[in-house]
Every structure is written in C-alpha cells, then in structure tokens.
Chains A and B, each alone.
Chain A
Amino acid sequence: MSIQTSGNTIRRLRLPLIVLLTLMLAGCSAQWFVDTFYLNELVTFFTAGPVAAYQRNVMLFTFTVMLFVLVPVVGFTLWFAWHYRASNRHNTYTANWYHSGLLEAFLWGGPTVIIVILAVLTWVSTFDLDPYKPLESENPTIEVQAIAMDWKWLFIYPDYNIAVVNEIALPVDTPLQIDLTSASVMNAFMIPRLGSQIMAMSGMRTRLHLMATEKGEYFGKNYQYSGDGFAGMNFQVHAVKPDAFDQWIEQARAASKPLDIAAYRELVKPSKNVDPIYYSSVRDGLFDYVIKRFQEGDGSVPPPDRLTDR
C-alpha cells in the first residue's frame, strides 16, 4: 500500500526534480564541488612520490574493477525489488524455482574472475611496494633512523651526524631509507603524500623507503594510537632542492647541544605537542643501543656514568 503511494509521489515530483537537479548541476561547476568538499585535499590521490603514486594507481585500478561488482549488485537488487513487488501482478511468479546450474556457475565464476585479476595485482604490487625494497634513483640514498617516543619522533641522520625532533628534510628525487624503532609503545610512521605506513616497535627494527619527486611541505604522523599525546604526534616534512637540504643540515649542526645519553634520557620522557628540536651531533650507535636495551632489559637507558655495555 505505502509502496504504491510513494511510487505516485515520485511520479508527481519527477519533472520538478529533474529541473531542480539540472539547475543545480549547471549552477555549480566542477570547481565548486572541489572547493566545497575540499577534494583537492585527498592526499591519497595527490601524491608527491613514486611509492604513493603506485599506491594511488593500485587503488584506482581496484576501484574500477570493483565497479563490475557494485553496479550489477545495486542494479539487480533495485530492479528485482521493484519489478517483483507483490503488488505487481503482471510478472511471472516461480515459487518453486531454486536452482540453475548455469546461473550458479556464473555466480561463482564471475567473482572468481574478478578476484583472480585482483590477486595478480596484489601479488605484483606487494612485491613492488615492499617497504624494504630500495628505490631506484641516480642520487645516492640518504639514511634516516627514526625512534618513536612518547609523543614525538626523533630522526637521526647518521651520515650527517645530526638529529632532529618532529621534522624531516629530504632533497627531491633522492631516496630515503628510514629505519624505525620505538622507545615506547607501538607507533606507525606515515607521510601520506609520499607513501607507505610502517610500524615502529620497541626492540625491533623495521625499514621503509620513500622518495619525493615534488618539492613541497608535507605532513607526517604517527598513525597508531599511543596514548594521551597521540593527536599531537605530528612532524613536518620539507621536500626541498639539494642546496636547501644542505642548508637545513647546516642549521641543525649549528644547534646548541648534541644528542648524548644525558640529552636522550631527557628527551625520552613523555611530552606532548613538541616543536622541532635540533641536535648538533649524535652519540654513535644510539639507534642500535635503544633496540638492544629493549631486547635484554626494561628499555630504559642507564645514566652515562653507569654505561658499561657499549
């Protein structure tokens, strides 16, 4: 009963609706949509590096393939629901029909074909996107060691013997090899516009390769909930020209204090919304030492005067 009423309502309103929709669409350009819904902020699709670009392509391809599932499902559902409504007396009714070998072969076969296509994509892309795999470039790879803390990131550049909190700089078109560990709970490192997320865990070392092909300022974050200061555990990424990168390194070297054991012990204490801190030099082997302290002890780093095991 009510279905019929609503059907009539729709029929009566059809013309005005079409007019209204046409006017709306004409009135607002594509730009209007982009501006209103902030579509240019979809960082997943506006990428700035090869890893992220690859991931974007994987997602768009998958999405397209999945439309071959979604469209028939939605279409058939709405069509059948409407057409075979009980009040429609003009259709066939086969109450006892419940099996068709051919149809069921299609129902199993269709999804299988789609999944086989996507499985191939998965296989290939997983190996291509392996975070441990070095990226190809003419420029030599820069090493970074990242230690997640409560609630900030410490980035060590061992080649340059500097360390920075909550800030990363990298020259464009130069691969970055980031080794990750944690001095606290589990964290996850990601710079959305550059590529993959990878977790940082105490007592363990994970690795991630990233590269920026476009100059710019990007945001990076911890993505794994880690406690009270989690929301503020952000860092700024400067993807810059090589000379600007050298300047940035110099700026860090000019900082007032080195990252020795005492400074590390101070830094590792919980703190929130930390602004960038530069360290002019880094105690050699700090990263490996932190990992080892979690494997064999309680994770705390002893005071410098009691430091015997390195």
Chain B
Amino acid sequence: MSSNAHDLNSIRAAARADTEVNFGFWIYLMSDVIIFSMLFLVYVDLSQRYAGGPTAADVFELRGVFLETMALLLSSLTFGMAMVNLHQGQKERVVIWLGVTFVLGAFFLGHELSEFAHLIHEGASFTRSGFLSAFFGLVGTHGAHVFFGLVWIVVMVVQIKLRGLTPPVASRLARLSLFWHFLDLVWICVFSTVYLPGVLQGVAA
C-alpha cells in the first residue's frame, strides 16, 4: 500500500499548476487570452455595422443560449469532480466524470452548430455584414476551442484506460482542466458581450 501512496503523491505533484510544464501552459493561455481579446475588440467594433442586414436583436434567441451556457458551466463543475477524483487516485471515477464533461461539451457544441446552421439558412451568414462576420468569428473561435477540448478529453480517456493514472497523464489532465475552465470563462465574456447586449437592444427597441 505504501507504494500506492507514493504514486498518489507523484500524481498530485504532477497535477500541480506550478510545475515547469504546467506553468508553460499558463503562459500559452495568456497568449490565448490575447487572441480572444482581439476577437472581442473586433466584435465590439463591428457590432453595429449591419450593412442593411439583420441586427443583433433579429438573430439572437436567448433561450437556446441559456441552455448552452448552463451546459458549459455545469461541465466546468464536472471537470472539477474529475480532478478531485484524480487527486484521490480514483481512476474509474475520473473516467466517468470526464465522460459527463464530454457529453455536456458536445451538447454545447452541437447546439452552437445548429444555431449557426439556422442563421446561415435564414440568410444571416458570415458573408452578410461586418457584424455577422465578427459574430461568427468570435463565437466560432470559442467553438473551435471547445472542439479541441473534446478531442483532448477523448485522448485523455484513452490514455487513462491504457496507462492508468501515471504522473504524465495527471500532468496532462491538469492542463486540460486549465484549458476547460478557461473556455468557460471566455464563454461568460461572450455571453455578456455578444448575446446579452444584443437581446437587450431588441427589448429596448
């Protein structure tokens, strides 16, 4: 049993946020923050440039976005559960919670894609106006990040199954966790910069 405790310690050490490799991931996230802030700036700049096309109030529908948001917020919680179990060395539970996170993330992405398809079908495609380009650009980049997060979750589940909870796997889970929470944070900004003002505008009008 003592060797098990030793494993647990090395797993916990590898999952710390300040190891050399995880620290580098923080730095990478900083650069990603800049990418999103640029896209937010673009959106704010172009958000009134409808070029005679549909306005924000015309295209946003808050109910679906609310579901999306709840799914993503919940997925942060479930990922947190996976990390708690990682610290306990509970391999099966880590996989289960990762699975739940994947389902929530996939729901979010699927909903977003159907929203995009709906908009394009309605003639509110990204080629219609500066506003719609900026909308698709910002929300789409976030969606692409979620997609890569989902791929990453799958890879991690496979690695846990194949290798068990080794320190390298734990270290990677720690970075995936940072990435996933970061996406959640970005989404909160998307919600309050894109959807909320857009809908409020419609209400005011």
A, B assembled together: yes
- Secondary structure at chain A's binding surface: helix, strand, loop or mixed? helix
B53 to A, closest residue via Cβ? A296
**Closest CB in chain B relative to A128 CB, distance in Å:** 30
What are 6 A-B interface contacts by the 8 Å CB criterion?
A295-B49, A295-B51, A296-B51, A296-B52, A297-B51, A297-B52
**Closest CB in chain B relative to A308 CB, distance in Å:** 14
Whole-angstrom CA separation of A297 from B51 in the bound complex: 7
- Secondary structure at chain B's binding surface: helix, strand, loop or mixed? loop
Q: Which residues of B contact A296 (CB under 8 A)?
A: 51-52
B51 to A, closest residue via Cβ? A296
Q: Report A276-297 CB contacts with B as 1/0, cut-off 8 Å.
A: 0000000000000000000111
Q: Which residues of A contact B52 (CB under 8 A)?
A: 296-297
Q: Report B79-109 CB contacts with A as 1/0, cut-off 8 Å.
A: 0000000000000000000000000000000
**Closest CB in chain B relative to A257 CB, distance in Å:** 32
Size range of the chain A interface in the assembly: under 10
Q: Would you list which residues of chain A between 252 and 310 have a CB under 8 Å from chain B?
A: 295-297
Q: Which residues of B contact A297 (CB under 8 A)?
A: 51-52
Size range of the chain B interface in the assembly: under 10
**Closest CB in chain A relative to B48 CB, distance in Å:** 11
Q: Report B49-62 CB contacts with A as 1/0, cut-off 8 Å.
A: 10110000000000
Q: Which residues of B contact A295 (CB under 8 A)?
A: 49, 51
The 3 closest A-B pairs by CB, nearest first: A296-B52, A296-B51, A295-B51
Whole-angstrom CA separation of A297 from B52 in the bound complex: 8
Q: Which residues of A contact B51 (CB under 8 A)?
A: 295-297
Whole-angstrom CA separation of A296 from B52 in the bound complex: 6
**Closest CB in chain B relative to A117 CB, distance in Å:** 35
A295 to B, closest residue via Cβ? B51
Whole-angstrom CA separation of A37 from B46 in the bound complex: 50
**Closest CB in chain A relative to B51 CB, distance in Å:** 5
**Closest CB in chain B relative to A271 CB, distance in Å:** 29
**Closest CB in chain A relative to B125 CB, distance in Å:** 16
B130 to A, closest residue via Cβ? A295
**Closest CB in chain A relative to B157 CB, distance in Å:** 49
Whole-angstrom CA separation of A171 from B52 in the bound complex: 42
Q: Would you list which residues of chain A between 52 and 97 have a CB under 8 Å from chain B?
A: none
B49 to A, closest residue via Cβ? A295
Q: Report B23-67 CB contacts with A as 1/0, cut-off 8 Å.
A: 000000000000000000000000001011000000000000000
**Closest CB in chain A relative to B197 CB, distance in Å:** 22
Whole-angstrom CA separation of A295 from B131 in the bound complex: 12
Whole-angstrom CA separation of A162 from B12 in the bound complex: 80
Whole-angstrom CA separation of A296 from B53 in the bound complex: 9
Whole-angstrom CA separation of A296 from B130 in the bound complex: 10
Whole-angstrom CA separation of A295 from B52 in the bound complex: 9
Q: Would you list which residues of chain A between 166 and 194 have a CB under 8 Å from chain B?
A: none
